[in-house]
Copies of this chain bind each other. A is one copy, B any other.
């Protein structure tokens, strides 16, 4: 049974992945790794977690996964899969019960195009708080983020569905969610003030069982981000 505490340089490698499950290499507070955790949880896939100390990565981890990225999946056959969207599509294809992506080629293409757009929104979740810490004026960047949120709001308004691609949660909702889960601790919540549909979506997402199973409280994020700001990320916070 792997511990949740992170494995750092000098640690001994965990044993091989048991036959009946997958292994996830993760960092507990990483939003990209949370995407994979959401999909694993939502689909009810059995998996172990090995958390990695991202500042002092173990040699055995870099041997398996030379770029040292998390999230990464390892199968019992020793196959390694990394990059969060690739891990999530892999899971949806390898475990076809409860599909999160549509079956039609155009439906899949639509979700991939939305993800491409959203990937251009993600940097704002990092650069606005960093600029604010440096005492810079962030009003311009916030205006840009609000514009991106307005586009997402418009999409929901037009579709008239609860979630981005229908009335149930699909892959694209899980790809976007981790950033909205952190919106309060990043002090960006006011950017949702004029996007009521998007705000409603975020509230509905909080009721999703996979979201409930993978999320942390605002207090925990606050303490973690504080440790990051101090240059000493506390990957094992509260363990």
**Is the CB–CB distance between B94 and A112 below 8 Å?**
no
Expressed in whole angstroms, the Cα–Cα distance for A26 and B86 within the complex equals: 27
A117 nearest in chain B by CB position: B67
Complex contacts, A90 vs chain B, CB 8 Å: 105-106, 108-109
Query: Which one, B79, B81, B94, B109, contacts A81 given CB within 8 A?
Result: B109
Residue total for A at the interface (Cβ-Cβ under 8 A): 18
Interface check A89, CB cutoff 8 A: yes
A80 nearest in chain B by CB position: B113
Interface check A63, CB cutoff 8 A: no
**Is the CB–CB distance between A94 and B106 below 8 Å?**
yes
Give the interface SS of chain A, mostly helix, strand, loop or mixed. helix
Complex contacts, A79 vs chain B, CB 8 Å: 106
Complex contacts, A109 vs chain B, CB 8 Å: 81, 86-87, 89-90
Query: Which one, B75, B83, B105, B113, contacts A94 given CB within 8 A?
Result: B105
**Is the CB–CB distance between B106 and A86 below 8 Å?**
no
A95 nearest in chain B by CB position: B105
A90 nearest in chain B by CB position: B109
**Is the CB–CB distance between B112 and A82 below 8 Å?**
no
Complex contacts, A112 vs chain B, CB 8 Å: 83, 86, 89
Q: What is the interface of chain A, defined by CB distance below 8 A to chain B?
A: 75, 79, 81-83, 86-87, 89-90, 93-94, 105-106, 108-109, 112-113, 116
